[in-house]
Amino acid sequence: MGEARGVTLRAQWLGQMLRDLREDKRLTLREAGEYLQRTGATISRFETGVYPIRRVDAAALLDLYGVEDPGRRDTLLQLAGELWHTGWWETYSKDAWSSTIDLAWLENRALTLRTFAGLVLPGLLQTRDYILSLFQAANSEMKEREIERAVELRLERQRVLVREEPVRLSAIIDEAALRRPIGGAQVMVGQLKRLREAAELSNVDIRVIPFSRGAHASPEGSFTLIGLEEPFSEIAHTESAGGAIYLERGDVDRLIDVYDRLQESSLSVEESAAFIVAMEKDLS
């Protein structure tokens, strides 16, 4: 299941910000390279994220580019440090797609997560048995150990909901995702119980869009909006058979509007909780 690590999202982010700063100063790659006693090609690799920049080199470039604001410097240097920092998610790097590792990193940085689940339930709210059933059905070529590592990674990601300063999760779930019996009736009973218990957390809101509401604003499928601390803007994450896609700026604005309209189509938090309880009783 794993792949070559390649360019990480965080390296691309920092590289783009350094490129913007250099271009604002009207400096060439060669001039920036000479300042670091490196080649222009090396600076280019830093800016594209092909080679993650070291914190000391990032600090030197910030000096060159005249970045004096303490908050901005700290944010960029912290990000530079994270390029080489080994978080818990990196222990799964040999077993998971790099885009999944990037997602785990983003979730740990996030202040808010707003997700729409159209086909299966949100990953951060899934039980072990539900996750296992999903991976077994979708990845027939995976070995048992690989599946177990994938399950463990998804369960580890869920810790952001119960950490000391938990992320705020708002989840809108299409009734179709609730009705599909992943793993069978017994697994679904446990999964619905998990949803009910998660909804009791002060940092988790769960809403359901019932079939009775008809068409909704996202027939294309599921997505997640990830809210980060400044200076980073909210970004969007979508999954497909071809891998993960991350969207920024204008594309995110469109999905924010879609999410707002989905919320208008959904039941209230209280009505959604009652809906899930009723389903659980029907299956028990």
**What residues have CB less than 8 Å from 42, skipping those under 6 apart?**
33, 36, 51
Q: What is the pLDDT of residue 7?
A: 66
Q: What is the pLDDT of residue 6?
A: 55
Q: How far apart are CA 204 and CA 223, in angstroms?
A: 17
Q: How far apart are CA 32 and CA 39, in angstroms?
A: 8
Report the share of the chain in percent with pLDDT over 70: 97
Which two structure tokens, joined as six digits, stand for 143?
Answer: 């070995």
| CA 29 to chain centroid | 32
Helix, strand, coil percentages for the chain (3-state, nearest 5): 55, 10, 30
**What residues have CB less than 8 Å from 103, skipping those under 6 apart?**
157, 237, 244
In the sheet with 112-117, reading across from the earlier edge strand, the strands are: 204-209, 168-174, 112-117, 223-227, 235-240, 243-247
Q: What is the pLDDT of residues 10-56, one digit of tens each?
A: 888 889 889 999 999 999 999 999 999 999 999 999 999 888 899 99
Domains of the chain plus CATH, in order, are: 9-85 (1.10.260.40), 89-283 (3.30.870)
Which two structure tokens, joined as six digits, stand for 268?
Answer: 């209230």
pTM over 0.85: no
Q: What is the pLDDT of residues 245-257, one digit of tens each?
A: 888 877 899 999 9
Determine if residue 89 is left, alpha or beta; phi over 0 gives left, psi from -120 to 50 gives alpha, anything else beta: alpha
Which two structure tokens, joined as six digits, stand for 124?
Answer: 């951060």
Task: Report yes or no: 36 and 43 within 8 Å, Cβ to Cβ.
Answer: yes
Q: What is the pLDDT of residue 8?
A: 77
